[in-house]
Amino acid sequence: MPENTSQNGHKYTRVWCDGCYDMVHFGHANSLRQAKALGDYLIVGIHTDEEIMKHKGPPVFTAEERYKMVRGIKWVDEVVEGAPYVTTLETLDKHNCDFCVHGDDITLTADGVDTYHLVKSAGRYREVQRTAGVSTTDLVGRMLLLTRNHFKQGCSQFLPTTQKIIQFSDGKSPKQGDRIVYVAGAFDLFHVGHLDFLEKAKEKGDYIIVGLHTDPVVNRYKGTNYPIMNLHERVLSVLACKYVSEVVIGAPYLVTEDLMEHFKVDVVVHGDTPVMPDVDGSDPYEYPKKVGKFVTVKSGNDMTTEKIVERIIRNRLQFENRNIKKEMKELDVLKKLESLDFKQNGHVTSL
């Protein structure tokens, strides 16, 4: 067991998390937030594409995309690329970590083995609560089921509490002299394209405010099937990004003089993607352009939410099979646990 001490002699706890981190969403971010709260320094190990393919099926994102996304989460201090699928004591010791943290969901190898059994038996495992209502499997399922009724039926029933938003938010106001940057959009299925854009936007100032459009507004300019994630989910996804200082929930599509004065905006930034006119045909960025406070940046990344959906649809059968296999393995484990509990206690307790 490593003995980590800071310069003043206090115990300094290094925490290890690992996983696929495929299609990084606010559920992953919430797990990492909870893990960081258990220590001082958070190291995240990420599996290779080959390992994921072997144990779960095809990942949606490449290893490089997944590494970049996790590095963009505000609670992560360090990323270890190509971490082994089964977490060992050797891995924890190599990175001088006190313990491993994971959510309370089941994670199995291709052979049905608990990937954390070694660190659990050694007492170097901590569990945090999984975020209900979202998972990569769920998001892939939403995209596979995309129909013209998708948006009307509701992209998700997830509703955050004010406490959850506070937990994700830094709660810091701009400092005296900070240059305030405003960006707006859907930021649906928060991805590497968004991350690279926000990094470029951050270069234009000190304090980034992201205006998130409502679901009906996104639906108007993106089309019938969008957004995939509802406004509440998109708020948490964006707040977890290390480049973001504040979020405006349900920001107006039109960037007005009042909005810019209210938030003391110095510059409005947009990517080099086309801007759809407002309902009356006007340019939503007309005012910031008129006063010379509008800047276009090139993120250098052409990833879009639509391209992610295309990846899923193109590999539809593979992803459907992956989801089915995952559910079957988890059900099998739950049945075994229930059977064991019945033999030991004569009854089944809720798992």
Q: What is the pLDDT of residues 204-218, one digit of tens each?
A: 999 999 999 999 999
User: Using one digit for the tens of pLDDT, what is the confidence trace for 53-69?
Assistant: 888 888 889 999 999 99
pLDDT over threshold 60, residue 344? no
pLDDT of residue 158: 62
With CA atoms as reference, report the closest residue to 319 among 149, 143, 78. 143
Neighbours of 266 (CB within 10 A): 17
User: Rounded to whole angstroms, how far apart are CA atoms 102 and 28?
Assistant: 10
What six digits make up the tokens of 196?
């690279």
pLDDT for the residue numbered 304? 92
- Does the structure show a pLDDT above 70 at 134? no
Query: Which domains occur in the chain, in start order?
Result: 14-131 (3.40.50.620), 160-305 (3.40.50.620)
Check residue 244 and give its pLDDT. 98
pTM, two decimals, is: 0.84
Phi, psi of 50 (to 5 degrees): -65, -45
Q: What is the pLDDT of residue 349?
A: 42
With tokens 């708020």, the residue in question is 235
What is the full DSSP assignment across 143-205? HHT--TTHHHH-S------HHHHHHH---PPPPTTPPEEEEEE--TT--HHHHHHHHHHHTT-
Q: Are 184 and 221 in contact (CB under 8 A)?
A: no
pLDDT grade for 133, boundaries at 50, 70 and 90: low
Q: State the Cα–Cα distance between residues 121 and 125, nearest whole angstrom.
A: 8
Confidence of residue 350 (pLDDT cuts 50, 70, 90): very low
Count CB-CB contacts under 10 A for residue 331.
11
In 206-281, DSSP assigns E strands to 207-212, 246-249, 267-271
Average pLDDT of 259-279? 96
In angstroms, the CA 323 to CA 328 distance is 9
- Name the token pair of 210: 């992201």
pLDDT of residue 16: 98
How many residues does this entry show for the chain? 351
101-110, 242-251, 282-291: which range is least confident on average? 101-110
Q: Which of 237, 81, 105, 263 is nearest to 158 (CA)?
A: 237
Task: Taking residues 39-61, report their average pLDDT.
Answer: 92
pLDDT at 347: 44
Q: What is the mean pLDDT of the chain?
A: 86
Higher pLDDT, 141 or 337: 141
